Structure 1
Amino acid sequence: MKYRTIGTDPATRREVSVLSLGAMLMGTKTDEATSFAILDRYVEAGGTFIDTSDNYAFWENGTQGGESEGLLGRWRRSRGIGSEIVIATKLGARPLAPGTSYVDNPEGLSAKIIRESASRSLETLGVDRLDVLYAHIEDPTVELSETVSGFADLVSEGLVGLLGVSNHWIWRVERARALAASAGVPGYEVLQYSHSYLRARTDLSELSPDGDQGPASGELLSYVRAQPELALVAYSPLLSGRYVREDKPWEARYDHGGTAPRLAALAEVAAETGATANQVVLSWLIGGSIPVIPLVGASSVEQLNESIEAVDLELTADQRARLDAA
């Protein structure tokens, strides 16, 4: 395994594995025994960065979520896991009632909700401090200053280590970070967005009720390049298996002239390296000019092993140049 440091403050920064494991469906779609086996294999391989949310996975059983955090708490206790494993969770998108969703009934990002939801996650995960806590979705009903101070208070009290943000418009991220800097309090340092090798059509991104900006844009990547202290975590890097599964059609956002050349370059490099297309994508993300931490899911140990092996795949300068240029 390889590692990188996220965060800048010596009191809260952490060294994490360059491959993060998503626990979204653990405890619901992925049963407990299989989930424990996947988590055990990840740690055995040197993985140290696990991702969840307080709303995972409410849509599976019509709940408010919490099943994923609950499973991770049971796994931690059964294995004697301590602070050596960094667990990131999120708040803001938990439905306020079973049978609803984050689109029509989200908990939001008020100072009150931030404190209540963080306290619940601390208890469910069985930890004294949340290593990384993300603002999961936008909440346009609350002033940014209230959200910024609500998160910062948790850091100052030692209840949270690093702050992160996911699925927010970049101008809102910058405004929130500017507010934090002017107040002299901790701000967002970890950004989590959908990002992969294929480029998505930007003309299909519309402002949704939760402020989701869609896959990582050139603007976001430019922002991270200009702010090297930020860490970018890429969820859905393998596009739900579409790189290797012909039975999964491409979404409309990838229906454009740039997709075929990129897939051809990907297939060419995969053939040269003897790796799978998935592994080439992960290696491309990890070793790029903008370092990215891919966040992968797995429904079996075999799927996880494919991703783990990608960490040691070294693309040549020529291969990387061809992938970039396609």
Structure 2
Amino acid sequence: MLRRRVGGPSGPVVSTLCLGALPFGTTVDEKTSFAILDRFVEAGGNLVDTADNYAFWAPGGTGDESESTIGRWLASRRRYDEVAISTKVGARPTIPGSGLETAEGLSAPVIRKAAEASLRRLGTDHIDVYWTHIEDRSVPLEESLGALEDLVGGGKARVLGCSNHATWRTERARATARANGWTGYTCVQQRYSYLQPRFDVGLPESGHVHVTAELLDYVRSEPDLTLMAYSSLLSGAYTRPDKSLPTAYDHPGTRQRLTALREVAAELGATANQVVLAWLLGGDPPVIPIVGVSSVEQLNEVLGAVELELPGELRARLDLAAQG
């Protein structure tokens, strides 16, 4: 699998596809989770994304499950030096059974405690990419960024990223870090796919922030910034008849994009999922998609996107439909 450096010139070199581990240990059992991780690494993948709250909303879930499952896999396979771990802080509920309204937030004590808990569950001594999962405007940026700097200085985090942040907050956080001589955010993670939602309707998933044209321009202008995308395959809605698109995608532009996508997939002999991933991987700026799967068979399909050549004429056709 192709690889690229993330988070600037000193960041880790990782696979161009990232494996999303959100369901591991809850809706995907441990045996299947281990098999998916084994296949991903066998195929050359080495970047795995999780969070300290996955998946608290699943029946019986607490938020420990995904990190703990990855930790047990790392221990059983002894892959500590071969796999880069990406995890997050800030969105874990502080009251069991509640949602983001009681999220842990980004105060310095929370960041320090959460990082230690993630390291313990993962069974490792450092986190390769550590993200602030959601914004916390109740805490001064200096406090949050100072705590993150302490983690980097102590060798517990290597690269920092922000997820579900407004572009202006990302820029301000980076400026604040520069002014203080601290490590800044060099990765951004937002919801992004080929289909685009209506921003006047909103997405049903609480806390999700979609990539905007402004963010794309910002990432293009900042050479050290890496863009990663979650929900790239819209939970199977591109290919599975039992999966419907959220209401936010119900607009004329979606029909134009889907028509172009299906035509391009047919011409290439590929699946719609593979074309979407190839479109993201080769975009401007290039994107690292985070792909969530629940079986090895699903993973094998998305792995096909890495080798898929998307000729310029077909990319232009997809882009033109996206602009219509």
Whether TM-score is above 0.5 comes out as: yes
Instruction: Verify: 1:123 aligned to 2:120, yes or no.
Output: yes
Identity %: 54
- In the alignment, is the contact (CA less than 8 A) between 2:26 and 2:61 conserved in 1? no
Instruction: Verify: 1:183 aligned to 2:180, yes or no.
Output: yes
| Equivalent position SS for 1:104 | helix
- In the alignment, is the contact (CA less than 8 A) between 2:187 and 2:228 conserved in 1? yes
Residue-by-residue CA offset, 1:101-122 (whole Å, 9 max, x unaligned)? 2x22111100110000001111
Q: How far apart are residue 256 of structure 1 and its match? A: 1.5
Structure 1 unmatched ranges of 5 or more: none
Determine the structure 1 residue equivalent to 2:289: 294
Q: How far apart are residue 97 of structure 1 and its match? A: 2.5
Choose which of 233, 245, 251 in structure 2 pairs with 1:238. Answer: 233
Determine the structure 1 residue equivalent to 2:108: 111
Determine the structure 1 residue equivalent to 2:4: 4
| Equivalent position SS for 1:310 | coil
For residue 317 of structure 2, what is the amino acid of its counterpart? R
Determine the structure 2 residue equivalent to 1:28: 26
Q: How far apart are residue 28 of structure 1 and its match? A: 0.8
Q: How far apart are residue 8 of structure 1 and its match? A: 2.3
Determine the structure 1 residue equivalent to 2:67: 69
**How many aligned residue pairs are there?**
320
Structure 2 unmatched ranges of 5 or more: none
Instruction: Verify: 1:143 aligned to 2:140, yes or no.
Output: yes
Instruction: Verify: 1:78 aligned to 2:76, yes or no.
Output: yes
Choose which of 90, 93, 118 in structure 1 pairs with 2:91. Answer: 93
Residue-by-residue CA offset, 1:287-307 (whole Å, 9 max, x unaligned)? 112100000011000000001
- In the alignment, is the contact (CA less than 8 A) between 2:9 and 2:224 conserved in 1? no
Counterpart CA distance in 2 for 1:304 and 1:187 is 33
Counterpart CA distance in 2 for 1:198 and 1:310 is 17
Superposition RMSD in Å: 1.4
- In the alignment, is the contact (CA less than 8 A) between 1:202 and 1:217 conserved in 2? no
Q: How far apart are residue 244 of structure 1 and its match? A: 0.8
For residue 93 of structure 1, what is the amino acid of its counterpart? A
Choose which of 262, 265, 274 in structure 1 pairs with 2:269. Answer: 274
- In the alignment, is the contact (CA less than 8 A) between 1:4 and 1:15 conserved in 2? yes
Q: How far apart are residue 225 of structure 1 and its match? A: 1.4
- In the alignment, is the contact (CA less than 8 A) between 2:14 and 2:84 conserved in 1? yes
Counterpart CA distance in 2 for 1:205 and 1:27 is 29
For residue 126 of structure 1, what is the amino acid of its counterpart? G
For residue 50 of structure 2, what is the amino acid of its counterpart? T
- In the alignment, is the contact (CA less than 8 A) between 1:205 and 1:214 conserved in 2? no
Determine the structure 2 residue equivalent to 1:42: 40
Q: How far apart are residue 246 of structure 1 and its match? A: 2.3
Which TM-score applies when normalising by structure 2? 0.96
Residue-by-residue CA offset, 1:115-160 (whole Å, 9 max, x unaligned)? 0000111111011111110000111211111111111111011110
Determine the structure 2 residue equivalent to 1:172: 169
Determine the structure 2 residue equivalent to 1:132: 129
Residue-by-residue CA offset, 1:25-51 (whole Å, 9 max, x unaligned)? 101110010000000000000000000
Q: How far apart are residue 193 of structure 1 and its match? A: 0.5
For residue 322 of structure 1, what is the amino acid of its counterpart? R
Instruction: Verify: 1:195 aligned to 2:196, yes or no.
Output: no
- In the alignment, is the contact (CA less than 8 A) between 1:137 and 1:166 conserved in 2? yes
Determine the structure 2 residue equivalent to 1:51: 49
Determine the structure 2 residue equivalent to 1:253: 248
For residue 312 of structure 2, what is the amino acid of its counterpart? A
Counterpart CA distance in 2 for 1:84 and 1:311 is 20
Instruction: Verify: 1:324 aligned to 2:319, yes or no.
Output: yes
Question: Runs of 4+ in structure 1 displaced over 4 angstroms?
Answer: none
Change in CA separation of 1:217 and 1:205 when aligned onto 2, cut-off 3 Å = farther
- In the alignment, is the contact (CA less than 8 A) between 1:234 and 1:295 conserved in 2? yes
- In the alignment, is the contact (CA less than 8 A) between 1:54 and 1:69 conserved in 2? yes
